[in-house]
Chains A and B, each alone.
Chain A
């Protein structure tokens, strides 16, 4: 409980925590408040916000409820960013552990592959992957993970290199444990904390990349996405700018919440260290 209290004691943690809580509530309550398909027509087209209280944020060109879109879009953002961040951290941790633990040629090859992935602009890679395989939720997740696993891999490798020489690893070796077992049961769990510290940045980037892909028309066509809503509104940017601006504000608040929460967590753990 102390962790949470220390986290909330920092202004960043408090603000980020509140923003994320709001985001989670919106995402999870979407089917409860808006049980209808958010892609269905709900009223007259291009209704401005705050005119009709049954459609508080107005409607788009096809008469779809903007507020329902925001709620259901939050679900897509949440699902994609969590899945992509978990996948990239898992892949990065495994690759980094293998490279750091095996050393030699394996390390060389894995690190050159990591270099190659970092040389190609991540967003272009994601774009190419989705456009070749075809847009669906799973493919978007894979595309984001493909461009985000290199950071965790590098950090995991650096951690493993420093852990590899510790006594408990040596004793596991003497006890006759299989090298792979040592790598994944003794070393990887201890190398994870610094990798997980990257989580907030990866989640935030995943939300932004998903939004950008959907904006370019490469999101899952059967789901509402904030990026897709912004792209939709772009056609009527002069007459109804609110259609593009509202989902953008939702995006900024969410990503900012993730960053602030990350800052708060870093400060809280620094505070704990200075106490100890």
Chain B
């Protein structure tokens, strides 16, 4: 990609997307600068909630950014980009149309005569290897075949910019792998008019396998944190050292390094400074991760290997790692997870001891210190859900605040820090009830 300055196809300058107004404003992405040049295959990678899908919708013109400029071939983009097309994660096929009609419908929308649209549709269905299924309905096809229809439909409009929105994440492992190869073949074959590909992904290996450049995003707020060029020739060998090194490098960027406690913890809600968001990690899944890491002889566990062994995707794994760091069960160093003695103790402990360890760690977190103080100070040491939610709202947008309270509820209940009555929507301090018993 470093040849004689290829022409830029898409340029984003200072793009931001905000929702809501005033105190409840929520920033989905901010300060995004990105150029996609002709001939490039770019992958957008990041944890869920980092705004990569929003960015894709801005680039295709489906969303208008709150700030910044989007240019296509040097001209400001107005409305939906007619030269771009999307292959959707959930395929977005019309269930009541046959395979052929699903492809032809995209052509008809551009005013192609019925007969020509039909002929072109059949050609494309042939191209993606679905000949014989022209008259089938999507519900008769497997996931992989449905996505082939999605690809054929996207190609029907002769796009210059092909956008893939997590196109393989709803497929089983084998179909996904086959389809990746086929998409690459279409792209590198060069017989199509496509000038560039933009793929949203949360699978690191997939990105390294397919893209020329990986744009890594992070959340809160969504932004670009790194760009990693991939200079490996196609076809790429997943087992080669160079491939593994690149995967590890991207993991290291995404998982970050464990910070000193003061920075990891953040401040209490309502105080100055950044309140640390609780990662959306289920306690049982966290225990599973620690057990898995503890089961190996090695002290250092490459995160890529853990992900493989646990069969999780990145969106599920990253919050678990974050939680393990936050609770002091593990450290992250250059793409490796290292259990602390406490983490090892937790992995080996009995059910009741685990709860005690968990509770002692939670009590140190500013979020829980604040929450317990609030409940203890209330009448009868019980507090309504809404009161805590309102108290959090200056800090976070409403949905985030609610999500935080949900996570805190699960963790706190597990650790028996407090009890919760769902019918009344009330938190109670566990201790006095236990004393009565």
Q: Do A and B bind each other?
A: no
Where the two chains meet, the residues of B that have a C-beta atom closer than 8 Å to any C-beta of A are none
